[in-house]
């Protein structure tokens, strides 16, 4: 498959992840009386990944996350020469997805970007008031295990038809753990999209949501590649 088509698939996949996941948080999480809450938002992120894994997994691998691409490079599953084009496509897709969300959300009279647009944050911008250190550790550890599951589920020895289910459920689980800490990122593109529209504090804290997931992703890919080797 040509790189241009794979990058286009990554664009659409990341668009869907940000629009579906962050959209559920912005539009539906606290909807009067019938809000879906943390559980609903966690499921939304898992379902966006699950659906896109079946839609574009056979085209681009459905990374839709710079940390996943980094982890697959570290684990020997993806060429380093294609990392940057994937990252660019993912970030542009996230920005586009967040932009469409802003257009829809602003159709409500009391909408304000000051509410965060589901941006990731720590300290006073953490949903639970967690410190920068807590946020850093959570993002590294949760991204590590996300990549560990991805590497295992897509191992040629694993049942391939069920890989998207395992990966989607893993994303749901880590959101259930991490939303109170940082709104959960584990995905630098997902963090970048909303942050660019919110500006201010969201941009100032964005560094953590690049560094921590990339470290966790790389470690997850490396550890699984060592563990999974038959030697």
pLDDT of residue 159: 80
Say if CB 28 and CB 20 are below 8 A apart.
no
CA pair distance 117, 138, nearest whole angstrom: 21
Question: No. of H helices and E strands in the chain?
Answer: 9, 0
Say if CB 168 and CB 50 are below 8 A apart.
yes
pLDDT (mean) for 171-190: 97
Torsion of CA 44, 50, 56, 60, to 10 degrees: 100
CA pair distance 14, 11, nearest whole angstrom: 5
pLDDT of residue 114: 87
pLDDT of residue 31: 59
The structure tokens listed for 224 are: 């699984």
| pLDDT above 90 coverage of the chain, percent | 85
Count of structural domains within the chain: 1
Q: Which pLDDT band, with edges at 50, 70 and 90, does 29 fall under?
A: confident
Which has the closest alpha carbon to 115: 198, 37, 213?
A: 198
pLDDT at 35 over 90: no
Contacts of 222 (CB under 8 A, 6+ apart): 74, 75
DSSP letters along 49-118, please?
HHHHHHHHHHHH----SHHHHHHHHHTTSS-GGGHHHHHHHHHHHHHHHHHHHHHHHTTSTT--GGG-TT
- Mean residue pLDDT across the chain: 94
pLDDT of residue 30: 67
For 105-125, write each residue's pLDDT tens digit. 999 888 889 888 999 999 999
CA pair distance 20, 8, nearest whole angstrom: 18
CA pair distance 52, 229, nearest whole angstrom: 29
The structure tokens listed for 115 are: 């509410």
For 187-219, write each residue's pLDDT tens digit. 999 999 999 999 999 999 999 999 999 999 999
pLDDT of residue 34: 62
Say if CB 126 and CB 182 are below 8 A apart.
yes
pLDDT at 229 over 90: no
The structure tokens listed for 54 are: 């079946």
| pLDDT above 70 coverage of the chain, percent | 97
Q: Which pLDDT band, with edges at 50, 70 and 90, does 141 fall under?
A: very high
Say if CB 189 and CB 70 are below 8 A apart.
no
pLDDT at 51 over 70: yes
pLDDT of residue 38: 85
pLDDT (mean) for 136-153: 97
Say if CB 39 and CB 25 are below 8 A apart.
no
pLDDT at 179 over 80: yes
Which range has the worst mean pLDDT, 15-19, 154-158, 172-176?
154-158
Contacts of 46 (CB under 8 A, 6+ apart): 168, 169, 170, 171, 172, 173, 175
Q: Which domain holds residue 99?
A: 3-228
pLDDT of residue 217: 98
CATH of the domain at 32: 1.20.1080.10
Which pTM was predicted?
Answer: 0.94
């Amino acid at each position: 498959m040509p790189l241009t088509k794979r990058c286009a698939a990554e664009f659409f996949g990341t668009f869907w992840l940000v629009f579906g996941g962050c959209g559920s948080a912005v539009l539906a999480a606290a909807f009067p009386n019938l809000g879906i809450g943390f559980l609903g938002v966690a499921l939304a992120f898992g379902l966006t990944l699950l659906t896109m894994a079946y839609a574009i997994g056979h085209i681009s691998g459905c990374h839709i996350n710079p940390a996943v691409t980094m982890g697959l490079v570290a684990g020997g599953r993806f060429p380093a020469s294609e990392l940057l084009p994937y990252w660019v496509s993912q970030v542009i897709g996230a920005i586009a997805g967040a932009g469409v969300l802003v257009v829809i959300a602003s159709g409500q009279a009391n909408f304000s970007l000051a509410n965060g647009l589901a941006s990731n944050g720590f300290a006073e911008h953490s949903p639970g008031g967690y410190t920068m250190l807590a946020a850093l550790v959570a993002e590294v550890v949760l991204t590590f295990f996300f990549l560990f599951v991805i590497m295992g589920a897509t191992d040629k020895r694993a049942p391939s038809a069920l890989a998207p289910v395992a990966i989607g459920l893993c994303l749901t689980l880590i959101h259930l753990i991490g939303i109170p800490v940082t709104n959960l990122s584990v995905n630098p593109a997902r963090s970048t999209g909303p942050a660019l529209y919110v500006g201010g504090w969201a941009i100032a804290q964005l560094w953590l949501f690049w560094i921590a997931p990339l470290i966790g992703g790389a470690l997850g890919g490396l550890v699984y590649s060592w563990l999974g080797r038959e030697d």
